[in-house]
């Protein structure tokens, strides 16, 4: 292993769901202590901490967690980056280790969202039929009720419908079948918020949130935390053979935001920054989508999963429907996607999700995923995206030791 390599030494997530008796600090501390134990280290070994939470922005969540698990005086970075918050915390630690400021670090993300309902609203439409440009956004008018919506279920419904309009083959039933896959996968994940298999009819007949996404086709707001311990290659060589054997290599870590495009000044575009992130990640890792054994992608809605097949280049451009119809993304398919159950059933405690997706991939690469194990998995990709927008992609490799 190169001394420049970064490795995940320990990683953990709490069970996602409702935790009425635990606050955010309790959940983050639980994930932190479990990640440290998983890596065989303690807080005394940690040289840098990056912690994220979205609800309650401005809280020094990293310092609050330290007070519960151990204060050692190391630098703490508190990060907030929409749904990419957890991935950003990971990337912050990776950058600190690469810069030589620490040889081991901790990333943690946590959220309390059970019962939160719809999380985001768009801009309020002004009264009257005439809009006057003013304020921070200048010539950009609020879109709700005019040309579309800025509310997340609507945004991702629009994105899925646009993909179908451009490339064909989509239908209400197709998107529901994507959700059917993820709910089936979740039955093998004991840490998922929901572990009940749903029939296609149950999914299609449920409450419509934003066509074509019904309630089971939307990510589940819940409580949860995830944490990871990262280490440099040089430091890893000083640890035990067992620690080296279970370590997972971070072959690529990429974070992108929107490039300037005229269209995305008005409506969010989750496609370009994801495709850019995937392109950079494959180049950084020296790998391609054909090398992947599994993918955990940001299926905040069933429509989002379809477009990200294309954005992550798991299929040829425009070929996401054919990719799904081939059976490839099922657990027993050619390239399993969201074996954890995805955000729709594993759950989406926002700041924890980016690390939780990495947790799932790591467990398959270690051969520790239990009944849902992808046989002989060597390479996996974890993806997360937050409107605003931010996209994180991590490519992970199984240790050679």
Model confidence over 345-401: pLDDT tens digits?
Answer: 999 999 999 999 999 999 999 999 999 999 999 999 999 999 889 999 999 999 876
Flag whether 134 is in a domain. no
The angle that helices 270-285 and 302-311 make with each other, rounded to 10 degrees, is 50
In a domain, 320, yes or no: yes
Q: What is d(CA 47, CA 26) in angstroms, rounded to the nearest whole number? A: 22
CA distance linking residue 230 with residue 35, whole number of Å:
10
Asked whether residue 131 is assigned to any structural domain, the reply reads: no
- pLDDT score of 24 more than 80: yes
Residue range 80-111, pLDDT digits in tens: 999 999 999 999 999 999 999 999 999 999 99
285-312: per-residue pLDDT in tens?
999 999 999 999 999 999 999 999 999 9
In a domain, 167, yes or no: no
Q: Give the integer Cα–Cα distance in Å for 341 and 185.
A: 5
Secondary element (H or E) of residue 383: strand 379-386
Containing structural domain, residue 260 = 6-115+220-398
CA 350 to chain centre: 8
What is the mean predicted confidence (pLDDT) over 120-131? Answer: 51
**pTM for the structure as a whole:** 0.92
Q: Is position 155 within any domain?
A: no
Q: Residues with Cβ < 8 Å from 375, sequence gap 6 or more?
A: none
Is 183 within a domain? no
Check residue 61 and give left, alpha or beta (phi > 0: left; psi -120 to 50: alpha): alpha
When the pLDDT of each residue in the chain is averaged and rounded to a whole number, the result is: 92
CA 384 to CA 369: how far, in whole Å?
21
Residue 123 pLDDT class (50, 70, 90 cuts) = very low
Assigned domain for 317 exists: yes
For residue 389, say if its preceding peptide bond is cis, omega within 30 degrees of 0: yes
- Domain count along the chain: 1
CA atoms within 13 A on the CB side of 159: 28
Query: Rounded CA gap, 9 and 93, in Å?
Result: 13
Give the separation between CA 215 and CA 142, rounded to whole angstroms.
26
SS3 for 165? helix
Domain containing residue 247: CATH number: 3.40.47.10
Q: Residue 6: is its pLDDT beyond 60?
A: yes
Asked whether residue 173 is assigned to any structural domain, the reply reads no
Question: What is the per-residue pLDDT for 335?
Answer: 98
């Amino acid at each position: 292993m190169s001394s420049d390599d970064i490795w995940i030494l320990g990683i953990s997530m709490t069970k996602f769901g409702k935790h009425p008796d635990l606050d955010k600090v309790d959940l983050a501390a639980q994930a932190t202590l479990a990640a440290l134990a998983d890596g065989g280290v303690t807080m005394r070994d940690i040289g840098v901490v990056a912690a994220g939470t979205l609800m309650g922005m401005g809280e020094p969540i990293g310092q609050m967690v330290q007070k519960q698990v151990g204060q050692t005086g190391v630098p703490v970075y508190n990060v907030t980056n929409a749904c990419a918050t957890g991935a950003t915390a990971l990337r912050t630690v990776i950058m600190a280790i690469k810069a030589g400021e620490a040889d081991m670090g901790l990333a943690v993300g946590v959220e309390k969202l059970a019962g939160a309902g719809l999380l985001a609203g768009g801009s309020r439409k002004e009264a009257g039929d005439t809009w006057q440009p003013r304020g921070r956004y200048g010539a950009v008018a609020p879109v709700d009720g005019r040309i579309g919506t800025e509310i997340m279920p609507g945004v991702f419904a629009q994105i899925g419908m646009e993909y179908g309009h451009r490339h064909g083959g989509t239908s209400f039933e197709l998107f529901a079948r994507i959700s059917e896959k993820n709910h089936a996968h979740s039955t093998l994940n004991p840490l998922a918020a929901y572990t009940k298999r749903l029939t296609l009819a149950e999914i299609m007949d449920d409450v419509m949130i934003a066509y074509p996404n019904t309630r089971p086709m939307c990510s589940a707001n819940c409580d949860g935390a995830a944490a990871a311990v990262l280490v440099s290659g040089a430091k890893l060589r000083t640890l035990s053979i067992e620690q080296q054997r279970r370590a997972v290599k971070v072959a690529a870590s990429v974070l992108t935001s929107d490039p300037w495009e005229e269209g995305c000044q008005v409506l969010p575009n989750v496609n370009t920054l994801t495709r850019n992130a995937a392109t950079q990640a494959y180049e950084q890792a020296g790998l391609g989508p054909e090398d992947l054994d599994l993918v955990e992608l940001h299926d905040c809605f069933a429509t989002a999963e379809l477009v990200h097949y294309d954005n992550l280049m798991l299929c040829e451009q425009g070929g996401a429907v054919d990719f799904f119809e081939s059976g490839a993304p099922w657990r027993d398919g050619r390239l399993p996607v969201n074996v954890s159950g995805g955000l729709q059933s594993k759950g989406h405690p926002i700041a924890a999700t980016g690390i939780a997706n990495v947790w799932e991939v790591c467990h398959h690469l270690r051969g520790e995923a239990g009944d849902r194990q992808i046989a002989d998995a060597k390479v996996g990709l974890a993806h997360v995206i937050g409107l605003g927008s931010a996209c994180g992609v991590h490519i992970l490799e199984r240790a050679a030791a």
